[in-house]
Each structure stands twice: as C-alpha cells, then as structure tokens.
Structure 1
C-alpha cells in the first residue's frame, strides 16, 4: 500500500493545473441544416428559356460617326430627333413616345443653331424633354457611354443608353420607359427606382451590360419598404446588393463627372 500514497497525493495538484488556462466546454452547439425541399415528389412547373428582357442593340441612323468612340460631343437632343425620324408615330415599345412629347423634342435646340439668346434655335432649354446627359463607362471597354433621360407626362420617363462601336457609329443598348422615382449610377449599373404594385413599397431594378446580348439587361430587382416619413431614399435593408456600399452614388473616375455635363 505504501507505494501508492505518493500517486494519490499528486491528484489534487494535477486537478488544480487543469483549472487555469484550459479549454472550457461551451455546451452543445446547434446542428447545421440546409434547406429542406418540401413535397419533393410533386412535378414542378417548367421554366422557359431566359428572355433578354431589354431592347436589342440598335444602330442610330442619321448621326455622324464619332472619333475614337468619344460620345461626349454628341448632342442628345439631335440623337433622339434622329430616332424619331427613323420611327415616326411610334407610341409603344422601346421607341414609343407620346405625340406631344415627340413634338416638343422636334422643337428642341440643335448644336450650331444659334438663337437670339445664344443658346441655339428651337425650343427653350427648359422646355425640351431631353434632359442633360450623363456619362459613364457601362460596358467596361474604357470608353464612356451616353445616358439620356426623356421626360414624359405623368412622371413617366424614358431612360436610354448609347455606346459607340469601333467604327464610331452610335448604338442604343438600353431603352426603357417607366414611372420613375429616381435614376442612379452604381458602378457600371443603371439603377431605376419605380413605384411597386404594393402600397408603401418601391421596386429597384439594376440594368447591367451583357456581353453576349450586347445590350443592357435588368439583372437584379429588389422590392423595398418606403420610409414612413416618405422622405429620403427607401430603406434597402442589410445585405442588399443594391443598397449603400462601394460603387453606389456619384462616380468620380476620369471621364465621368458626377454632375450632368453638356457635350
């Protein structure tokens, strides 16, 4: 029995060493589980092939080619007037336009036609439905695209984007008409905020360049709640791909001024 006494005497010492600096169990952890497929034996609906959804690229006739794919010298009013000549009396589709808006655009001033005020002939600038353009490289080719807005009645708006091909010809790569709350640039996306079909909510759609379709397509959509005060941007919620973050807001890179720039 004598030899076992020293071993018993060491037990309290060893137990004491384990109480300082050792790992302590945190208890049982919840088991991770993936999504559960409900009614797996049910035959689901078939999904048709993806629809491009946007307007196909269209060469704009009647506008001289631009040098070095530089769209900054293009008069946006003259550009839309050329489209009106190519698609007269069109009220639906990508080129659709109310007759009164088309008449006002035909009266817009053109570059080089000086009026008495030196601002050009035709309608006064504030009366022209073609808004001041913006510029941004949306296709990633290192050249700015031309972003044009056209005011329609009842808060509706046509948003169009044009790019220059290697030959300098202008191609329209986006055209959509909606009841627009606001238009934003986020990175290389054009983001439209429009009223949702549900009261108290709005729909945010991001249009992005698609290299296969060679056009801008609506790639992301999000329905967000409008703040109760009705002021400021909608609460896009945490983790939203369209919410505040890098790339959202004015772009300050070379060649793309955050403020509207006249050609």
Structure 2
C-alpha cells in the first residue's frame, strides 16, 4: 500500500499547493523582502521571545535585552532577575528568561566555545532542524524560523497560525492536523529544489492571505483568489464543490 507521500492523493495536494502558491504570490506581490537580518542565534532568541506575544512587545523585549547585554554570553551569565527585567515587555518573562539562559548554556556546552549557531549552515536542512529541536523548548516553528529568517537563509518552512488555517481550509492538510505535524506535511508538498527565497515567499504568501482575506472569523471568501481550490470557502458560500 503506497504511503501518503507516494499516493495519487498526495500528488493532487502537491499540485494544488503549487497552484495556490502561484496565485497568492501574484496577489500579494512576491518575491518578498526578508524582514530580518539577524544571525541565527539572535533569531532563535527573538523567536523564543515572540511566543504568545504581540510583535511590537517581543520586538521591544529583544531590543531592551540587546541594549542591556551586548553579547549573548552576557545574557547567559547574568543573574536571571536582570534578564527577566530586560524582557519584561513580553509575555511570561519569568519563564522565558531562565529558558533563554538555559538554552544559551546548552549551546555553549555543546559547541565548546562562544554562543554561535553559524555551523548550522554546513548541515542538511533536516539535520539542522533536528539539532535545534533537541534544545529544550524549541519546536518545529522555532527551528524553521531560525534557519529561514536568519542570515543563514536555509530553506526550512515555518507554519504560523495563519498559514496553518489557510492550508486546512484549502484541504492541503486535515482539519485534525496540529501545528507541529503540519510542518512536515506542508514542507513535503514543496519542490525539493526550492531555495530559501521560494520557501520564504510560500510562507509569507499564505500568511498574508490569512491576515488579509482568510480571517479566522468571517473570512472574505467572496474575493478570495483561490476560492475555486477551497472546499471550505465553496461550502461556506453554498457553491457546489
């Protein structure tokens, strides 16, 4: 019996994913400029700060942390109360401060020197992600964001809540597929030869669609450029599939 990734159903999902990619990229103006110029370790810390936090608050926390501690080794070795105070604008600083310090200590111990993740550039994507996800508190979204958004520009695809919602409604993944499993399933739909810009465009296009049209509540299905590919939208508007 063929596996999911070898079946006719998978081929159909992949074709749909690429068609949707083309339309959404055209709709929202791809190629998109990378928003971040952080090194990988800085991107990792920034991603941890952003968990369950508004962008403006996590940005403020990151900027305050860097202003207070010029080097990541300084953050690693500081009293936890000082780190917590520096990131007070994000949610749960009392949890994130010790988590970030523990993560920095583990990276230092594994690498045997200064805190640096530049070596990930020499690994295959799957190995680089596995290395990051072996750190306590780092999941698929954080590992992919670290690799793709940082200056490493490694083609690992993060799936945020907007991307996840759009993919479910389109039928690219099941409505029962959680965020972690979605990373593997949605990444498998992309051509293996895509570079970081193409993967970034795919993620950003799906994210923008979730933000600008496929809302969590009252999605604007009537003006959706991929409505003909969307079982959810067609059912919602009472149109035949």
* Same fold, TM-score > 0.5, yes or no: no
Tell me: higher relative CO, structure 1 or 2? Use CA pairs within 8 A at least 6 residues apart: 2
More helix by share: 2
Q: Normalising TM by the smaller chain, what interval?
A: under 0.3
Larger Rg: 1
TM-score, structure 2 length as denominator? 0.27
TM-score, structure 1 length as denominator? 0.26
More strand by share: 1
